[in-house]
Structures are given as C-alpha cells and as structure tokens.
Structure 1
C-alpha cells in the first residue's frame, strides 16, 4: 500500500489570523515538504491595510481560495462563509482543517468542517474571558467543543478545557504562535524608520489602538476614551493608528480628537510592531497586543472589563482597565508610579509553530490506497 500525501487546509479571515498561520505553514513545510497545504481567505477583513499587506510582509502564500465574504451582521457573515466554504472543503477533502483564534471566520469554517466530519485543529484553544457578551467568547467555546485537536498557548488554557470536560488526549500545550512571527521579525523591526519618521523618540510616546464594539460603538464611551487620550497627550505624545471601524464611528458621531493625538492610518505588521516595541506604554483593547507587549516587556493598559489572556497579567506586563475616562487616567497615573515586572510565560519562545506542526503530524491518519 502507498501512502498518499497529507493535505492540511488553513483558514484566515482577519488581521490576527495572518500572524498565526504564516509560521505554522512554514513549519509544516520544514517538517515534511510533501504535505499539501491549502490556504483559504474568507475575506472577513477586506481593507488592504488590514489584509493584503500582511500576506507580503509575513511571506504568506497567495490564497488558493478567496471567498470574498465581508460586511453584514455576524449572523449574516457566518452563514455566508459557511455556504461558500462548504464546496471548498468538499473539493479539497483535507486531512485537517486548521483554524486559529476566535474570529467569525474561525467559527463558521469549523462548524462547516464538523458537519462534513473533517478533523479540526484549533490553534489558540482554551482561552476564556468568562464574558459571553463578547462574540469572540462564544466563538472560542463553540470551536473548542467541536475541535479534535486543541492546541493551547499556555497552561491556564489547558485548565479551562479540562474544567469543560475536554478529554486530556485532545489537548496539547504548544505555546504562543503569535510570538513566533514576532521573534522572526525582530531583525526587520530594528530596520524600521517609522518612529523617527513620525518625529518620535523611543520610549517617549504612547501607542493607542481601539476597535472593540463596547468601546467604539457607544458614543459616550468612545468620547470618554478619546478625551482621556487627549489628556494623556498633554504629557506625552500619543500615536493612534485608527482601525477602519473606529474611524467610521468617529466620523459618524462627529468626535474630533485632540490635535495633540497623532492619528494614523492602519499600518503594516512591521511598522506597527516597531511602534509597539519602542513605545513607553501601549493602550489597547486588542487581544494579541496584550501578548506581544508581554513578550517585548512593554507596559500595556488593556481597556476592557476582562481578558481571555489573564497570563499576560499574572506573568506579563498587562493591566486591565475598566473602560471610561477616569479609570483610564487613574490607571495611567498608577502605571507611572509602579511599572510592571517583565516576565514572559513558558513556551512563548518562537518555537510554537514547530510544536504545532509536530502535533498535527503525530495526530494525522495514514492515508492509503
């Protein structure tokens, strides 16, 4: 009997997915170049600065399939992705569907594969915020409940899955694959000139990002947070790459940020991470940035009531801040008085993608004819 080559199908849809899939595909190829790898882009992020530039910078191959699904409500987007993705899966018949993170594309594609009885591997499994009002939390819970291989970034994620009665033999702690892209990019970050081009000095500015619905869709909350950034900018330069969603809301609501806030268009991965690396502090509501700042040792204030990445608080440089003007300003003052200790969690070492590739190979069936 001859062994047919394995086929892995990867899904990307939103900006955080690209940094996770790129190193895994390279690691799989390094382990076994005979494995067929298929990349599907759902189109969930359609802005060129939120998608196309990342393929170039992260050396991701051009997608084999592009579903072109963007816009609409979450329910509409989920349904449209499932309808478009089903024939793709039926055509390729992969041995593994590999989904990453917790975006709508992750949920929709995992559900489609489960219905077709195609094995699912979930990278970044086991993260929990405990807040089911967050769409991402529902996505994480559902995908983990149907996945066949749960690849976790840290031991607390393992504990969450075990507490949810996931069989231990499905769980593999591999570390944080987002850090792999960061480690690989460090030499390139040192060559970036964006900090100097913006007239900034390393460790003498604040980098801010805001995009979550709870912060930018509520007019009063968005106004409060922008006002707080303006007050911080009176003491130290604030640089604010504006997410398309946030830009749209600012325009719709007629909110004019303080001119001392340096508003930017979204940046590519290298430029943005160069800004993170050199910042004195990062103020964000992102998930992945909590991890990247922890690895880089940059203080981070996460403007959210909770986080699915608590290890960035217990072992990293992150602090949670209740959304609002006064709470953010108080946290900013506290941070100046008591900077965080710098410590990086176990297995956040730039080698997670290799461990993921090995786990996929070990769990893969032998295809015979």
Structure 2
C-alpha cells in the first residue's frame, strides 16, 4: 500500500528514474501477496528474495544476504525503503554499508516503546538514511531530537492515504465480500465492528489473547463482529484453543482478505478494532471510529486529530470505548495535513531534485 503510489509516480518520469522493485518475501503468504499486487496495480517485482518466515534475527540476516548481490548487479543510485518491518532495516543496512544512499519513507514515527521490534527498526533506519520523508509534522521533531539534520527531512504526507483515496470507489462492498466467502449472516451496512489483530504483543501471549477474545465475544453480543483472520493469528488462536469460542458467537470469521476488501469493510463499519498502524491512519482518513488494541501508537496524529482511541488490552476500557461509540458515534476527527493523495508526487519530485535527476 505504501510502495504502489511511489512506483506509479516514478513510472510517470521514467526518462529520469527507472525503478527496480525488490520483494523480500518477508510477508510470505503467497495468496495475500498476489492479491495485493494485483489489486494495487503493482508491477511484478524485478526480484523476489523469497525470504519467508523465521525469527527476527534469521529473517533480517537472510534479507541482507540475499539483497547484497542484487545491489552488486543493479548498482542503483539510491535504495528506497518504506515503513518499519525487518526488511526495512535489513535492506537499509546493506545499502549504506555499500555506500549507496538510503531513502526512508514514513520516517520519524515513534511509539517510544522499545519492546516493539518495529520501534527499533524505525530508529535505526532513520539514523542511516540520507533522505527522510515524514507523514506528519511531529515526526520531524522526533528526528531532530535524535540528531538528524533538518535538511535531510522532508514533510511529504502519507502515501498510505494516496492508495486509499485512489481505491475508495472500487472497494468491494460488504455484500460482495460476504457473498464471495459464502458467509450467511445478518450483518448489515454500518451495523458491525471490523476487527483485525496480528501483533505479537496481542497474539503471542495466551493470557492477553484470551482476554481479548473474551471482550470480543462480549462486543459481538451487542454488535456483530467481522474478523478477517491473519494466518499467524489463526495459528495462535488454534494453539490456545480459542477459535471455537469465536466461532460460536455472532462473529464472522473470514480468511485473509485483499486490500479492496479490507477497504470496503472499513468504509461500511460502525467502528474498527485493530492493532494495525495502517488501519489507524486509514480510519482517520475515512472518518470511521477506531479502537486501537495497543498501549501506545507511533501515529499520534490519529489520536490528536483523527478518530483513533488507544485502549490497550484491558477489557473494561475496550468495552467502555465501544459503548461510547455506539451511543454517540465516537470522536469526530479531521483529515491531517498533506493526507491528500499527493504524497508520492511530492516524494518523487524531491528525489529528482535531491539527486539532480531533474530534466
């Protein structure tokens, strides 16, 4: 979702930039990968490293080992990475060790929770980047405090919102999605909660996962819940013996869905329960109330200006927030600055100038 608009904008200036797309394979579910590439119009990667699963160390090391020969062959003028996954820091480290400038899109976001692997990836990637593009102005403050030179920081806006705005009209409707998966239920437009959950802090600890399942079941007694289940989350639920609890309630369990489907589900939901950073941003852009099942967020603008409320994994706080949304419609937010669908345009224009590629 982050790379699609950047690639598309680079293709508009292909006389000056030739993008070479590398898919590391960190997100290794082939069906999910194929669906997202197809729906977002991303060209087939020039290279697929096929890294797959593993511990953080194994995954990061394998990306580095497989990415280095690609750089030796392609000899790029710069490497652009997005977000905060293991692939981000792995590819970044290989690039700078070979004296290739690094560009980081979505820089400067901080949860200030170093127990999150993503936080370590964010901090380290920013420290080694040559050019840093931010989604919100507070990110610049974070970077300056960490010693990043101001001239390297560029406020571009949010490429995730570029993708969202480009696809809103063609997003699948709720009825299309339910029909596709053969789900017979009474869920109606604006009369359900959308749930997504995949972070290790929520699904790896059985006690936390049990607590969340319990409150989800309670919510479903008031409002139907539609739950596309991430493969890893499904495995953890099955291992903990919790899948049956969800299946017996007014909870629609779906397999992993594509981008247009999750977008359609968000647009039609009364509220969203999630631990995803991306969904926090997308619900703010759509004006849909979001209940974040985490103790913190690296996207504070979704709370201060958007529709997001942080509740953690405390069942009483979660239920109180859901009850308030059902009674009042939830907090009203506004779309943040530069979340206007043109972030990729600003990014590519800056890259052309920074590396003196302008015609």
Give me the TM-score of the superposition, normalised by structure 2: 0.94
**1:348 partnered with 2:346:** no
Q: In the alignment, what sits opposite 2:319?
A: 329
1:24 and 1:357 in contact (8 A); partners too: yes
Partner SS, residue 122 of structure 1: strand
Aligned counterpart in structure 1 of residue 40 of structure 2, from 35, 58, 66: 58
1:123 aligned residue: 105
Q: Secondary structure at the match of 2:22?
A: strand
Residue 235 (str. 1) matches residue 235 (str. 2): no
Aligned-CA RMSD value: 1.5
Please identify, of 287-296 and 328-337, the stretch whose mean Cα deviation from structure 2 is larger: 328-337
Q: Distance in 1 between matches of 2:272 and 2:146?
A: 33
Contact 1:149 1:171 in 2 (8 A): yes
CA shift digits 1:159-199 (9 cap, x unpaired) = 11111121010000000000001111012026674356355
Distance 2:88 2:112 in 1: 19
* CA–CA separation in structure 2 for the residues paired with 1:317 and 1:257: 30
Question: Which residue pairs with 1:252 in the alignment?
Answer: 239
Greater shift after overlay, 247-256 or 46-55? Answer: 46-55
When structure 1 is superposed on structure 2, of 32-41 and 214-223 the one drifting more is: 32-41
Long gaps (5+) in structure 2: none
Aligned equivalents of 2:355, 2:29: Cα separation in 1: 35
Aligned to 1:6: none
Structure 1 residues 141-180: aligned runs within 5 Å: 141-180=123-162
Secondary structure of 1:111 counterpart = helix
Structure 1 portions without partners, runs of 5+: 1-18
Please give the TM-score of this superposition, normalised by the length of structure 1.
Answer: 0.91
Query: Does 2:130 correspond to 1:139?
Result: no
Distance in 2, matches of 1:90 and 1:365, equals: 23
1:1-369 equivalences in 2 (<5 Å): 19-189=1-171, 193-194=175-176, 197=179, 198=183, 199=185, 200-255=187-242, 256-258=244-246, 259=248, 260-338=250-328, 339-365=330-356
Question: Paired residues, what number?
Answer: 349
Distance 2:210 2:173 in 1: 36
Contact 2:111 2:119 in 1 (8 A): yes
Structure 1 CA distance, aligned partners of 2:207 and 2:189? 33
State the Cα deviation string for residues 92-142 of structure 1 (Å, max 9, x = none).
111110100000000100010010010111000000000000000000000
Report the Cα offset of residue 49 of structure 1: 3.5
